Amino acid sequence: MSLIPITNDLYDIAWRLASVDGDYRLYYNADKGRYEVYSAARCSLQFILPFDELDARAVEYARSTRVERAEEIFRETERCNAEIERDSARRLADCVAAIKEIR
């Protein structure tokens, strides 16, 4: 695995990520062509940045995926899933009604 440490970048993203969590270290994975954030303390991959360029989105992504937000993220996911289920039920009811009209 070819990990290239990023310590100095145009928008200071590596430094700003460290301000979100002092253990965060930014790397570019040359084999996979993507940016990855590792924990220096745990020596483990924390997350993969879903962006091709380093910019402010990387810092926002790091903040939004923090473990401290896990409960909030879970609630948001549950709310979205419930909305999807309601929409699916409505569409199914509409299809059944349309079929009954045809008969």
What is the per-residue pLDDT across 30-76, written as a single tens digit (0 to 9) for each?
999 999 999 988 889 999 999 999 999 999 999 988 766 667 767 88
pLDDT of the residue at 3: 94
Average pLDDT estimate for 1-11: 92
% of residues, the chain, pLDDT over 90: 55
DSSP states of 16-82? HHHHH-TTEEEEEETTTTEEEEEETTTTEEEEE-S-SS-SHHHHHHHHHT-GGGHHHHHHHHHHHHH
Average pLDDT estimate for 1-23: 92
pLDDT of the residue at 39: 92
Put simply, whether the predicted model's pTM sits higher than 0.95 gets the answer no
pLDDT at 14 over 90: yes
Pick from 18, 41, 38: nearest CA to 28 = 38
pLDDT at 98 over 90: no
